[in-house]
């Protein structure tokens, strides 16, 4: 698969679109402009990769809309060197954005086919996040604490185990609500306690696992 000047131009147009929608973090916009999203989609969708839309990636999962990826990433406030846990690798696109921002990424995926595919694409891009197969809803206690945790699936409630795995000052970004609609939350650990901020409403595929939708 190639990344052509045409693809680069389409990415720049996407970045402009995201700016107009309120994404203001220059580093996040630069990452969206740099990472070839078409690598993470089936070739049948490649022509549409830079539309601000979600697409099916198989296994009942989707690659999130670029605006959603940018919105969640902006809330995370990633700094180079941050240890970041991603719950729900999916296509691997969000992992690639986090890697581009200089994060040390650990990502968990419960669908084996997606787990294997994401590892392959990220390796092709020369990125080396730790992609793990398992139940992301329980987090990754063996690697805690994390400066940031991002959940890319809809949770019925905020798993306490994830708050426990945050470093002091760490941020958890997670969509919480019903299966139809969720509100984006950012939970910051301050003096050992969770401080919750609420943001826009979104629609994600469900988080499946011990602390998700069973």
Length of the chain, please? 214
Verify whether residue 64 is a known catalytic residue. Answer: yes
Question: Out of 64, 91, 95, 137, which one is annotated catalytic?
Answer: 64
* Sequence-separated (6 or more) residues with CB below 8 Å from residue 127: 95, 96, 99, 100
Helix H, strand E, coil C: the string for the chain is CCCCHHHHHHHHHHHHHHHHCCCCCHHHHHHHHHCCHHHHCCHHHHHHCCCCCCEEEECCEEECCHHHHHHHHHHHCCCCCCEEEEECCCCCHHHHHHHHCCCEEEEEECCHHHHHHHHHHHHHCCCCCEEEECCHHHCCHHHCCEEEEEECCEECCCCHHHHHCEEEEEEEEEEEECCCCEEEEEEEEECCEEEEEEEEEECCCECECCCCEC
Which residues are designated catalytic? 64
């Amino acid at each position: 698969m190639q990344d052509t000047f045409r693809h680069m131009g389409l990415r720049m147009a996407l970045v402009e679109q995201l700016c107009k929608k309120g994404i203001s973090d220059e580093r996040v916009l630069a990452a969206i402009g740099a990472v070839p999203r078409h690598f993470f989609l089936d070739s049948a969708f490649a022509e549409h990769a830079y539309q601000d839309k979600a697409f099916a990636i198989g296994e009942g999962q989707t690659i999130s809309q670029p605006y959603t990826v940018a919105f969640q990433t902006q809330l995370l406030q990633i700094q180079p060197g941050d240890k970041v846990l991603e719950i729900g690798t999916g296509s691997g696109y969000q992992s690639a954005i986090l890697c581009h921002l200089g994060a040390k990424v650990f990502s968990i995926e419960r669908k084996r086919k997606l787990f294997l595919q994401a590892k392959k694409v990220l390796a092709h891009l020369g990125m080396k996040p730790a992609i793990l197969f398992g139940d992301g809803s329980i987090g990754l206690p063996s690697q805690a604490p994390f400066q940031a945790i991002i959940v890319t699936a809809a949770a019925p409630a905020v798993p306490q185990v994830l708050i426990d795995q945050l470093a002091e000052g760490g941020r958890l970004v997670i969509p919480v609500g019903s299966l139809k609609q969720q509100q984006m939350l950012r939970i910051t650990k301050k003096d050992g306690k969770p401080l919750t901020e609420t943001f826009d409403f979104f629609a994600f595929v469900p988080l499946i696992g011990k602390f998700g939708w069973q």
